[in-house]
Amino acid sequence: MTHDTLVIGAGPAGSVTARELARRGRRVLLVDKATFPRPKVCGCCLNGAAVRTLERIGLGHVLAGAIPLDRVRIAGGARSAEVRLPRGVALSREALDVRLIDAAVRSGVEFRPNTTILQRDRGATDVNVTVLASGLTGGGAAPEPGSRIGAGVVLGAASVPAFYTDGTIFMATGRGGYVGLVRVEDGRLDVAAAFDPAFVKSAGGLGPAAEDVLGSAGWPVPSELVGAAWKGTPALTRRPVRVAGERFFAVGDAAGYVEPFTGEGMAWAVMSAAALAPIAARDWQPGLAREWEAAHARVVARRQRVCRVVSRVLRSPQLTGLAVRALALVPGLAVPFTSALNHPAQLPT
């Protein structure tokens, strides 16, 4: 088959965009440098906006077997507070990403794993458009000074303390970063963290840094945690990039990334993929780039500003401690915030 659309990166942003474009009649080639399932540092929590968007575009079935989430327990030092969450789910990235690729292929997309496309090839003229969905480092956005790095590992169910129950997101914040833990569909514990690089160095590595943060919260440290094969990421917080140009559109993390604490990255990825498809499906003309810039700002930019505020609070142990104390007394204080983050964007029909 000859293709008229190239999608680079088969994470949630790329597979959902590819599927939506194929459903609109485009002949889509989806490529990824990895073979799947592949490891991906991620908290594995899909918030209410992600769940509702997937359902709305007919992809609710990819969440089969996911663990429903209804609360987050946040520790700031030795204090903790529990906040109710609107409906979300926990699902491993191995399961989610493979299912989304399958859905794209069933809609007519051709998928080629193990295929790397260099950034300079974006905007190639032998296709109508190229969609850049190649994640955190794929969009060419420069890291912001002082940005934290990400880290993650998934621990086997047998070594996980019973304290970490199904249905709750555990977030421990400490000096130098935070660690999120959640049970996924097969009982394993997904651990995802953001750390100051200097803290990781002084702690002696990613595992010891996570142990330090859990210890300061007084939470049990899973026996495999310190010695596990952690995977790190480059700097997380990036300056927003141009999200469109001559024959290319950027979507998902490739369009700029801010802060994982609020667990919104996958919601942004699927909401913006669904918003991009009606634009990228049209025959190329320069006005489409401006259309995508406006749509991207509407779907994602305001939400990213909320996350910037959260990330500033998390930088200060004093402010984090105050926030946790306030939430312990009045958990309802979180409602306006959790409702805003879990509200799906209006999408074109």
Ligand X SMILES: Cc1cc2nc3c(=O)[nH]c(=O)nc-3n(C[C@H](O)[C@H](O)[C@H](O)COP(=O)(O)OP(=O)(O)OC[C@H]3O[C@@H](n4cnc5c(N)ncnc54)[C@H](O)[C@@H]3O)c2cc1C
Q: What is the size of the binding site for ligand X (CB under 6 A)? A: 42
User: CB-wise, 32 or 287, nearer to ligand X?
Assistant: 32
Q: Shortest CA distance to 155 belongs to which of 203, 197, 207, 195? A: 207
CA distance 117 to 33: 8
User: CB-wise, 53 or 320, nearer to ligand X?
Assistant: 53
By the rule CB under 6 A, 53 interacts with ligand X? no
Q: Shortest CA distance to 109 belongs to which of 34, 19, 13? A: 19
CB-count burial class (<10 Å; 0-12, 13-18, 19+) for 115: middle
Question: 346 to each of 26, 95, 235, 349, how far by Cα in Å?
Answer: 23, 27, 31, 9
Instruction: Name the helix (H) or strand (E) containing 328.
Output: helix 317-329
| Residues pairing with 74 in the sheet | 81, 171
CA distance 210 to 100: 31
By the rule CB under 6 A, 80 interacts with ligand X? no
User: CB-wise, 76 or 152, nearer to ligand X?
Assistant: 152
By the rule CB under 6 A, 211 interacts with ligand X? no
Q: Judged by CB under 6 A, which stretch of 192-200, 203-211, 280-288, 335-343 contacts ligand X?
A: 192-200
Answer for which of 6, 29, 45, 281 binds ligand X (CB under 6 A) is 45
Q: Which residues of 27-49 are buried (b: 16+ CB within 10 A; e: fewer)?
A: bbbbbbbbebeeebbbbbbbbbb
Within residues 257-296, the interface with ligand X by CB under 6 A covers 260, 263-267, 269
Answer for which of 18, 21, 22, 31 binds ligand X (CB under 6 A) is 31
User: CB-wise, 312 or 329, nearer to ligand X?
Assistant: 312
Answer for which of 48, 76, 77, 138 binds ligand X (CB under 6 A) is 138
User: CB-wise, 51 or 324, nearer to ligand X?
Assistant: 51
What is the side-by-side order of every strand in the sheet holding 5-8?
110-112, 28-31, 5-8, 129-132, 248-250, 244-245
Within residues 156-175, the interface with ligand X by CB under 6 A covers none
By the rule CB under 6 A, 44 interacts with ligand X? yes
User: CB-wise, 83 or 285, nearer to ligand X?
Assistant: 83
**Cβ-contact 7, 18 below 8 angstroms:** yes
User: CB-wise, 231 or 282, nearer to ligand X?
Assistant: 231
CA 315 to chain CA mean position, Å: 20
By the rule CB under 6 A, 209 interacts with ligand X? no
Positions in the binding site for ligand X (CB under 6 A)? 8-14, 31-34, 40-46, 116-117, 133-136, 138, 150, 152, 192-194, 233, 236, 252-254, 260, 263-267, 269
